[in-house]
Every structure is written in C-alpha cells, then in structure tokens.
Structure 1
Amino acid sequence: MATVVMEQIGRLFINVQQLRQIPQLLESAFPTLPCTVKVSDVPPVFRELHIRAGYRQPDQSWRYYALTLFQRHNETLNVWTHLLAAFIILVKWQEIAQTVDFLRDPHAQPLFILLLAAFTYLSFSALAHLLSAKSEISYYSFYFLDYVGVAVYQYASALAHYYYAIEEAWHARVQGLFLPAAAFLAWLTCFGCCYGKNASPELPKVAHKLFQVVPSALAYCLDISPVVHRIYSCYQEGCSDPVVAYHFYHVLFFLIGAYFFCCPHPERFFPGRCDFIGQGHQFFHVFLVVCTLTQIEALRTDFTERRPLYERLHGDLAHDAVALFIFTACCSALTAFCVRQRVRASLQEKDE
C-alpha cells in the first residue's frame, strides 16, 4: 500500500514539474518581440497626445506586427475590443440566419447589410490598430481603410433605421431624400476623415479632428433621426414598446463613445499613466461596441415585429437600397485610394 501511495505522489510531482514548464514552452513557441519604445523614439505621425510609452518600433516585418496581437503595447486593447466584437457579430449573424432567409426575403436585406457593415468596420478598425505602426504609408493606408469601414457602417445604419425603426409620420417627411442624403454624408465622412488624417502637419490636432468629427456628426444627425423621432413619439404618448428602450440605450452609448473620441480623457489629466490601459480611445471602442450590439438587437426585433408597417411603407425599396450601398462603398473606397496615392507621392518627395 505504501509503495502505491509513493508511486502516486511521484507521478503527481512529475505532473507539477511539467506544469511549471508550460510558460517556458509557450515562450519558446513564439519569437521574442522587441520591446516597446517611448514617444520620442517614433516618427511624429505615430504619436498620440498624452501617450508617452508603449509604441511599437517601425520598419519591422509584417510578421512582427501580426504577432504584437499578443504583446502588451498601447494599441493592444484597441485591437482586441473590435476583434472580439467582430467575432460576436459573426456568431449573431449565424444565429439570425437560422430564422431569417437573407437570400429570398427582400425585406431582410437591410438587416443583412447592417450585419455585414458592422463586421466590416470592426475588422478594418482592428487591422488599422494592429498593422499601421509598420511605416508612414502603412499608417495612412490602414486608417483610410478604417474610414471606408466607418462610411459603410454609417450608411448601413441609416438604411436599417429608415427601413425598420421609422414611424409613418417621419417617413412622410423624409421619403425620397433620406437614403441619398445618407449615402452622400457617409462618403463625406470618409473624405473628411482621410483629409483630416492627411492634413498639413502645421495644423493643430484640433483642426485635424474637426475634419473627422463635423461630417460624422452631420451624418449621425440624419442617420439617427428616425430613431430619435420614434423615441420622442413613444414617450410623448406613454411608451409601452420595450424595443424603444434598446434604441434609447443605443443612442446613449454612442453619445458617450463620441465624447471619448473627441476628448482625450482621462489621459489628458494623467499623462504617461494611461499608456497601456485607460485611454479615451479605448473607452470609445468599448462604448461603440456596446452601441452596435444594442442597435443590432433592437433592429432585429423591429424586423420581426414591425413587418406589416415597413412592408406597407417601403415596398420593394430594399433592392434600390442594396445598389446604393454598393455605390457608397465603391465611392468611399475610391476616395480613400486617391488620397492614399496623394500621400504616397508626398512621402516619396519628402524622402528625395
């Protein structure tokens, strides 16, 4: 009996020793990555206000930047928040597809476009924060791609709000103008963000931000107007629709996120202490993700419960809306490409 007990203890000791070797095995499985550097060690284009450390070294291999997904740096949380959210969107997409026929039901197409656009903007954003540190042209290229995703999502949100969430009174006011205006403002957002990112280095950061914020704010005011009108009408009449609460929180989460996007808080008050966690942009990402998931849940419910209303209001509008979505995406991508070519030529002149 004593021999058996000693054998079991010996095996347990061996297992414990093997467990202790796991961190060493994991460390040897991945190449050693260069340490992050301070703000003074990277070109000005990569520097963020009040963020003094945690920058990745430029001019490394693509493999290095891909592997920094698992490294602690000042963009790690920005990458993972949108990467995980993109995965959640895929899971939701699969779940919704079990009960919704996206191919044969034309009234389901705006919901499909919203899911596609949400996945696109989240994926493009994650790529921008992960890979943009390689070089100046990579920085501009990936952020311009990110802005294409933003424009696509803006139009998709406007379409879904107009199609599923709108009330008859507001539909009568904006019919015929809403979607073309939403497409134009989505493109204007892409152009403004690209131009703002590429604006003259002599301009203050505030001016750069205005080019990004003003078109986005105009687009959001139009895109959200069906939802705001519905919330106002509902509470004015003594609201009993539970979906309106989802729409209310969806708007609230976006506004909180927009505040953190516009204002570098709290790092402004604690410079150097929010280099890895606690940046305003990280809070912006979190609130934007919660906003998107709440929005999708609200519109998914509207798609199910308000079908008689939107079928009567819109008819075959979904087919035209899909064409306008493709047109908006193509115009935004072409704009981003043209601005990128201009940036590339400018960088080449500077190198010469």
Structure 2
Amino acid sequence: MPRVSFAPPSLFLTFLPLLDRLLPSLPPTVRDVDVPPLFRERFILSGYRPVGLPWRCYVLSLFQIHNETLNVWSHLLAAVCVALRFMAFTILRGGGPEGQGFSADVSSLPLVLYALSAITYLSCSAVAHLLQSHSELSHYSMFLLDYVGVAVYQYGCAMALFLYSADTAWTQSMLGQVFLPAAALLAWFSCATCCYAKLRFRRPYPLHRKLCQVVPMGVAYLLDISPVAHRLATSSWTAGSALPLHFLQVVLFLLSAFFFSCPVPERFCPGCYDIVGHGHQLFHVLLSLCTLVQQEALFQDFLWRRPALVREFGEQRLLLACASFPCLTLCCTMTALAMRRRARAQLMKEQI
C-alpha cells in the first residue's frame, strides 16, 4: 500500500517567502498620545495606527481592527451597493414601453452622473480614512480629496433632484431658473471652505472651524433639497412611492449631520467607543443609508419624469447641465491641489 505524504508541495514552499513579504504582519494599534496631535480625535483614546509605516501597511489595514475600520467599510460597501444597484436598474429597466425605462440618451445621462458622483464621494471617503495615517502630508491630501468627492456628490445630487424630482411649476419658478448655477457655486464654495478650515485651524479645533465646514454644506443642502421639500409639502404622498423615500432620506441626512457636528456618544464616555460606535462612524453609516435610499427614490422619479424630460427642458439644456458636472469636478480638484501645495509648504516651513 503506497504511503500518503502530507508534506507541503515545493511550489507552496517557494511562494511562502513571497506571501510573507507581500502580506506583512501589521503593527498593533496605539493610543492617542503615541500619534501626533493632527491625527487625534476628541474623546477617542485608542485604536490609532502608527504614523510613518509603508503604504502597503495602511492598505492592508483594511482588514485590521482600528478606530477607522468601520468608517472605511461603511462607505466602501455603500459604494459597491450603489454600483450594483445601478447596474441592476439599467438591466431590469432598460428600454421599456414608450421610452419609459433606462436607455443611453441625454435624458438618462443625469442619472448616470448621479450614480458616478455617489460612487466618487463614497470611494474618496473610504480611501481618505484608510490612508490618512501615513504622514501629515498624506492626512491633508486624503481629506482634501474627500472634500472634492463631497462637492461632486452635492452637485450630482442637485442636478438629479432638479431634473427628475422637481414639479414642473417649481422648475419654472425664480429659484428653479437659477438653481443649477447656484448649486454648482455652493458645491465649489463648500469644498473650498472645508479645505481652508482643514489647513487654517489646529487642534484643539475652535468652534468656528466646525462652523466653517458645516454652514456652507448646510446652505448647499438646503438649496439642493428644495425641489424635494417643495414636492413633499405640496403633493400627496400616496401619489407615488418616491415621496416616502425622499422623506426618509431627509431624516437620515439630518441625523447624520447631527453626529457629524457633535462627538456623541464618545463625549460622555471617552475611550468606550473607540473602535465601534463613535459619532463619526454613526455619521458614515447613516449617510450611506441616506445615499442608498435617495438612489431608490431617484429611480422612481426617473421612471416618472423621463418620458417628458427632453420635451420640457430641451436636449441642449440637458447637455449643458451635464457638461457643467466635469467642469465643477475640475474646479474642485484644482482648488484641492492648490490647498495641498499650501499644506506642503506649511509643513516644510515647520520642519525648518
């Protein structure tokens, strides 16, 4: 009877050193006193990744437990869900009677840009929280990228809500006439003020640093959501399935804004919510749910408005609105790059 050998194959032994080099063991997390003040969060006392490790350590920390793990995974999974749901919608609702479904034409392009903007902001946020601990310059660079993603999403959302979710009477009002240019300007302004506040203020952050971030984004949100707010106030909620979803989206956003602005619950028990449950994590989870719910509402509104969209707005106006999307993205990117150069010069000056 032949003997059975349980020795690992030589090929496996050959690849072991390679795997060990590619997948190094990650150093343990450290306390707040072990990282520079720039990386510390109020009332979060542990779970920080050491600064100055090789880039691959931060990439691999995607599978490590630290105080950013839930921040990364909540938006990473939400980005995947947005992409998969959009693909499913385009397949299941492709074509349709009388052009009521999704098709590759100008009336569907704003919906494509909305999905792209949602994936962009979720991905930028996940990357920022995953890689920001590498160095001080990386910290600034990653969060400037995050602010660009948020601005892009703000305008993608505003454009989709204006074209698909607004009543015809509202789009023809005075606010409706200036809505898209104002939404683009506020999206860029909120990006610029967030970038400025990130570079201007040092820890412990003063209150006006938070106001410098929250107020412009809040004004932008009030404008962006105004078509939906008008419809919620004037239309019967039983007329379609989209309005309850829009209302739920507003509630989720307001809850997420509260946890973004207030360090709750960690404020009342410092160190108890370092890994799971602190305010920024709740903000991430609620904002992810808000985006998924909003996408479902826009799908319903798209099916409702698409047949008459070109007739109401005109193909040229729709193309112009869609063309403003990459222009805004470019403006926000250039602003972030200028701020990054300023951050780099500032850090170099401090090291002299």
Residue pair 1:196, 1:210 contacting (<8 A) in 2 also: no
2:188 is matched with 187
Instruction: State how 1:1-352 maps to structure 2 within 5 Å.
Output: 30-98=23-91, 99-100=93-94, 104-173=104-173, 174-201=175-202, 204-235=205-236, 239-316=238-315, 317-352=317-352
1:9 maps to what in 2? none
Taking a change above 3 Å as real, the CA distance of residues 97 and 308 of structure 1, as seen in their structure-2 partners, is: closer
Normalising by structure 2, we get a TM-score of 0.88
Q: What do residues 122-160 of structure 1 show as CA deviations (whole Å, max 9, x unaligned)?
A: 000000000000000000000000100000000000000
Return 5+ residue gaps in structure 1 as ranges.
1-13, 15-26
Unaligned stretches of 5+ residues in structure 2: 1-5, 7-18, 96-101
CA distance in 2, matches of 1:224, 1:241: 18
Contact map agreement 2:44 2:273 (CA 8 A) in 1 = yes
Deviation at 1:104, TM superposition (A): 3.3
How many angstroms apart in 1 are the aligned matches of 2:208 and 2:196?
A: 11
The C-alpha deviation readout for 1:206-259, integer Å capped at 9, x for no partner, is: 222111101100100100000000000014xx7432211111101111111111
- Give the 3-state SS of the residue equivalent to 1:175 in structure 2: helix
Residues in 1 aligned to 2:188 and 2:79: alpha-carbon distance in whole angstroms: 23
Q: Distance in 2 between matches of 1:308 and 1:280?
A: 43
Check conservation: 2:158, 2:183, Cα contact below 8 A.
Answer: yes
TM-score (norm 1): 0.88
Q: Which amino acid aligns with 1:217?
A: G
What is the CA–CA distance in structure 1 between the aligned matches of 2:227 and 2:35, rounded to whole Å? 45
Question: For the residues of structure 2 that align with 1:200 and 1:289, how far apart are their CA atoms?
Answer: 28
Q: Does structure 1 retain, via aligned residues, the 8 Å contact 2:171–2:177?
A: no
How many equivalent pairs are there?
A: 326
SS in 1 for 2:41: coil
Which digits, 9 at most, give the CA deviation of each residue in 1:67-110, with x for residues without a partner?
11111110000000011111111211221232347773101011
Paired AA for residue 31 in structure 2: K
- Displacement after TM superposition at 1:65 (Å): 0.4
Conservation of the 8 A alpha-carbon contact between 1:36 and 1:53: yes
**Cα distance change of structure 1 residues 103 and 345 upon mapping to structure 2, 3 Å threshold:** farther
Dislocated runs of 4+, deviation >6 Å: none
Change (3 A) 1:242 1:94: closer
Kept in 1: contact 2:108–2:306 (CA 8 A): no
Q: Which secondary structure does the structure 2 equivalent of 1:106 belong to?
A: coil
Q: Distance in 2 between matches of 1:141 and 1:103?
A: 38
- Shift in Å, 1:334: 0.3
Q: Aligned partners of 2:35 and 2:164: how far apart in 1?
A: 47
Q: Is the 1:86–1:122 contact (alpha carbons within 8 Å) kept by the matching residues of 2?
A: yes
1 CA distance for matches of 2:176 and 2:277? 43
Q: CA RMSD in A?
A: 1.9
How far, CA to CA, are the matches of 1:62 and 1:204 in structure 2? 28
Compute the displacement of 1:202 (Å): 7.0
Partner Cα separation in structure 2 for residue 319 and residue 117 of structure 1: 17
The aligned amino acid for 2:235 is: C
Amino-acid identity (%): 47
Give secondary structure in 1 for the equivalent of 2:309: helix
Give yes or no for contact 2:37–2:203 (8 Å, CA) kept in 1.
no
